[in-house]
A and B are shown apart, each in its own frame.
Chain A
Amino acid sequence: MPFERLVLISWARSGDERFHVDGGAFWRQHEGASSPKSIMERRDLLRALASAAALSLLPSERAMAAWSRVAAGLSPTNGLSDTQMALVRAIADTIIPRTETPSATDVGVQQFVNVIVSEYAADEERTAFLTGLDAIDARAQSESNTPFAGLAPDARGKMIGALETGPRGAQPARTYWRLKGLVVHGYFTSEPVMKDVLKTVVMPGRFEGAAPVQIKKKPSQVRVPPSEEAMLHG
């Protein structure tokens, strides 16, 4: 068994089973590892990296083809409607806004959500998810007389805060949490974020079990107040 995988899947299972699988060591973020250590001779590493690059061509091309299909609007025959897409975009960028690094929609998270909805979800899951999205918009409509996407940033934050506070199993919170899982997953597994933000090192060349943490911050259950959120957007 891959133990890290086991750990992470176990963690994932404390959340929502199907949509919250972290995926484990495969795409966990790495830090540093700028130069391969003497564990592997440089010549060998270069050879291995060349092979790795050659390897990655096939799936990459396949993925690109699939994505261009999505981009051309060909694939998702039963995916998100334009209204639902606007909602997903708005929620995604409220969860992960643009800062000095890209926002969720900057890296195409909405397209990943659409792929999961249209090509991965079972019919009943898709129906429940889309119904939940509509319910979120209906709530915004009834509370503020506008779809969610039409809300000002602080009002978006307030509504998401409310969705996160209540029981996670009840609609539309259930849909929201599934969406949030997809947004986070889609963001951190995107090419720009893995390469430029997380600076993922595919072949770290070493393992350290007790390396010092460079950025010393207390891991937080971050809850940004709507006002601060608005300020950051401002």
Chain B
Amino acid sequence: MADSYDYDAIVVGSGMSGGWAAKELTQAGLRTLVLEAGRPIDPLTDYVEHVQPWQMHFRGFGDRKAMERDQPIQSRCYACDEVGHKFFVKDKENPYTTPADAPFNWLRGRQVGGRSIMWGRQVYRWSDLDFEANLKDGHGTDWPIRYRDIAPWYAHVERFIGVSGAREGLSQLPDGEFLKPMQMTAVEAAARPRILKAFGGERVMTIGRVAILTDNHNGRLACHYCGPCEKGCITNSYFSSIAATLPAARATGNLTLRPHSVVAEILYDPKKGRASGVRVIDALTRHETVFTSRIVFCCASTIESVRLLLNSKSATFPDGLANSSGTLGKYVMDHNFGSGAGGSYTGLLDKRTIGNRPNGVYIARFRNVKTQHPDFLRGYGFQGGADRQGWGRGQWMPGYGAAFKQSLIDELGEWGFWGTGFGESLPRESNRVTLDPDVKDAWGIPAARIEVRWSDNERAMEKDMAITMAEMLDAAGFKNVRPNDGMNPPGHCIHEMGGARMSRTPKDGVLNGWNQAWDVKNLFVTDGSCMASTACQNPSITYMALTARAASHAVSAMKKNEL
């Protein structure tokens, strides 16, 4: 090839997906530039998981006034707290708009590592129940892949990142290559067989499958159970791109990582019909630079990638790059979550937990697996856990004086359980991301306008979640069972997906079965925007597997001189 390029590959984004693209591409020998909009992160000075409340001015409540001023949206996330807020964007610098009647919580991290620093770490394989769902009920477009296409890549990812979990042999939740599972708490272990028995074996509670090491693995240390992974991990015990994929990429000598690099546009060369590179605005100096490459991997996160493609307009693609189908920005989804139930358990008072398990239990999907529920399509899983109340119960428990004090020091309260449903929302064309005609971010780039609403299907599912969780707790012997069918606004689950979906034909989506843009062969989009449906499982491992698979395809296509 006569042309000279700055790099073989450019990866936009350094988080969950970008880290994997960087690792796979550099290990295949490609000189790779990773562009990250945010700042670099140094675990030694930035991670705050061991900061104790007495070291915080507000003892963990957070600087509410500063948060209301600077992070009114981000602080809706549990992890955006007194010390963790640093891993979330400043809302004023990063605006987005929504219709007044369609609130959307867009919770974001811009830094090297992206949201892989604060993610929930739960990893569940999808099954063909998920990949065939669109085809079977007609909502959304058929996935161009099936479980057999992604299964080896799930294994590839699991082997590298380290996933602890228990094998269950469930068709709807395939087992992976697991490190030893974390322990269930006494009450979880007692509840599991009772729930199995009460519901004919259909409702399976398993220990959370989590990207946290229960044994030393690939040079990273086993978990020390301090608890708040979302604040970082000095022992690299949970998977993040900083802990694992970016160091692997760096070790090849082929990685150039450029923080403070806001990608404003993917450039398109109409003569070659290819992406030629990217236009970058330096976040600090506003200086603009163009970098060229043979291939571009867009891994900026679901809505950022859609926004970037929409902002990459040309004569060939006046409505956004690789948008000949007109589907770019459409079919945006999130998991509907928030409903569930809680209860207390009066027994097992001779047992307690020791250490802070950064994980919970998972109840695999049981709705619409074998039979069809009359009220809704698709299904949901529950995440939750049981532990005993600590001194915190003293805040609302009656009592005072020496005995009250001593009871909070010496004793634990009852066991409590809370389970929350994570539901599969339907792909709908009207749920979409466009560009706001007026609002721009701090770097002058048009902001996203997000319009996503729940439908009757999600509402019916939420109702069912509260009922089924409550009946499971009841069957397991819990008291004071409290169903809750409160629904969070879209976005709040931070599992936003879709907008540049994969499809079987160029007219139905943006990407083919290799995450490759139908219209622009050397452009790959491998973050959550590629998703054609949401399943009900946490999506990150699927992004990672798809990214590794796409990178492998890109490398072999380059070797065959197809790119």
Contact = CB atoms under 8 A, between A and B. Distances in A.
Interface string B183-200: 111101100000000000
Contacts of A97: 401-402, 405
Interface stretch (B274-282, B385-393, B438-446, B517-525): B385-393
B287 interface: no
Interface in B142-160: none
B50 A209 contact: no
Contacts of A185: 59, 392, 395
A115 B420 CA distance: 34
Nearest to B399: A222
B47 interface: yes
Contacts of A51: 44, 234
B453 to A, nearest CB: 23
B76 interface: no
Interface string B49-80: 01111111111110111000000000000110
Majority DSSP secondary structure for residues of B touching A: loop
Contact of A221 (B208, B359, B398): B398
Nearest to A206: B355
Interface in A19-57: 19-33, 36, 39-41, 44-45, 48, 51-52, 54-56
B355 to A, nearest CB: 4
Nearest to A168: B396
Nearest to B83: A59
B95 interface: no
Given A7-B417, A25-B228, A184-B408, A211 B55 contact: no
Contacts, number: 331
Interface residues of B, number: 97
A203 interface: yes
Nearest to B236: A48
B498 interface: no
Interface string A104-129: 00000000100110011000000000
A28 B406 CA distance: 16
A160 to B, nearest CB: 5
B103 to A, nearest CB: 19
B182 interface: yes
A211 B360 CA distance: 17
Interface of B: 44-45, 47-48, 50-61, 63-65, 78-79, 83, 120, 122, 182-186, 188-189, 208, 215-216, 221-230, 234-235, 342, 348-361, 383-387, 389-414, 416-418, 420, 482
30 contacts: A1-B360, A3-B385, A4-B360, A6-B384, A6-B385, A25-B227, A25-B358, A27-B52, A39-B224, A44-B221, A48-B235, A55-B44, A55-B51, A59-B51, A96-B405, A112-B59, A120-B58, A120-B64, A161-B400, A177-B396, A188-B408, A202-B52, A204-B225, A204-B226, A208-B183, A209-B185, A209-B188, A209-B357, A211-B352, A223-B399
Interface of A: 1-12, 14-16, 19-33, 36, 39-41, 44-45, 48, 51-52, 54-56, 58-60, 62-63, 66-67, 94-97, 99, 101, 112, 115-116, 119-120, 157, 160-161, 164-165, 177, 180-181, 184-186, 188-191, 194, 197-198, 200, 202-213, 215-224, 228-229, 232
